[in-house]
Amino acid sequence: MRMTRQRREILAVLSRTRSHPSAEEVLRQVRTTLPRVSLGSVYRNLKTLREAGLVREIVTAEGRRYDAVTAPHPHFVCERCSRVFDLARPLPPRALRRALPQGFAVSQIHLELRGTCSECGSQP
Amino acid sequence: MRMTRQRREILAVLSRTRSHPSAEEVLRQVRTTLPRVSLGSVYRNLKTLREAGLVREIVTAEGRRYDAVTAPHPHFVCERCSRVFDLARPLPPRALRRALPQGFAVSQIHLELRGTCSECGSQP
DNA sequence: GTGAATGCAAAAGCTTTGCACTCGA
DNA sequence: TCGAGTGCAAAGCTTTTGCATTCAC
């Protein structure tokens, strides 16, 4: 994998935030440093970085978000402000495995909680 | 909510399968009975039925799927054949709640396991 | 030098929407 | 009857792709 300026910058943007930006938001951030980057390159690089295990894609009802923290951890999606929060990893996988039919092999666990974050909850 | 033939048939299709069809697949099924149904009506009805609590939308990396079983339960997505399977409800919510920051209110829990189903796993 | 990566623009999904017509209550 | 719902087609988004050019190695 060739480390182009675009690729490096996309990775840097994702590494320095915990806000789980969309591809469009990554583009905006990257353009503050490299103004001529195209949206196509952002998508291509997000895919390449994902395949290299450096970036994780989070699919929610609100769209696809990207995360440089690839260790498995659950997310909380606020249904009012659409922000995505990281949660600590709370899952005893034993309980899950017990629910699996014979012959099913798990490679990933996506756990997403939805609701209202503390900030939105304190507003009327 | 007016119970049109289209709406009734869409609900019937979803109720008689456990295969979590996409909107396109719902359309195909409904058209065996009502050949002139449009894709727009399928989407509009899925939305209406969802808002009425009669249908659940499942957002996965493979696209949106629909389910007439609205009781919360986790899913297993096979990464080879893309089929979606129902799992029994195994989650002790207490463990999850402990992971939540102060002030966050949970309205839904989406748990998705990914991997290889027994059928695909037994093939090379 | 050379092939992987880029920018640009077009294309390809998937989902929503505008509009005149239909039909369920 | 009459307004919610429909079919059709167009529009809207997001994501992917083709192609000539650029640039990291």
Beta strands of B11-89 (E only): which ranges?
56-60, 63-67, 75-78, 84-86
Whether residue B110 has pLDDT greater than 70: yes
DSSP-derived secondary structure for B15-76: HT--S---HHHHHHHHHTT-TT--HHHHHHHHHHHHHTTS-EEEEETTEEEEES--S---EE
User: Looking at this protein, which amino acid is placed at residue B90?
Assistant: P
Whether residue B90 has pLDDT greater than 80: no
User: Residue A47: which pLDDT band, with cuts at 50, 70 and 90?
Assistant: very high
Comparing A89 with B20, the larger pLDDT belongs to B20
Percentage of residues in chain A having pLDDT higher than 70: 90
Whether residue A91 has pLDDT greater than 90: no
Q: Which of B104, B108, B115 sits opposite A104 (nearest CB)?
A: B115
pLDDT of residue A18: 93
A121 at the B interface (CB within 8 A)? Answer: yes
User: Residue A107: which pLDDT band, with cuts at 50, 70 and 90?
Assistant: confident
Give the tens place of pLDDT for each residue, B35-67: 999 999 999 999 999 999 999 999 998 899 999
Task: Report all structural domains of chain B as residue ranges with CATH numbers, in order of start.
Answer: 5-67 (1.10.10.10), 75-121 (3.30.1490)
B120 at the A interface (CB within 8 A)? Answer: no
Q: Which of A61, A90, A122 sits opposite B103 (nearest CB)?
A: A122
Mean pLDDT over A33-40 rounds to 97
Percentage of residues in chain B having pLDDT higher than 70: 90
Residues of B with CB below 8 A from A74's CB? Answer: 96, 99
B87 at the A interface (CB within 8 A)? Answer: yes
User: Residue B101: which pLDDT band, with cuts at 50, 70 and 90?
Assistant: confident
What is this structure's pTM? Answer: 0.89
Please give the structure tokens belonging to residue B33: 């009975």
In Å, what is the separation between the CA of B21 and the C1' of C10?
A: 31
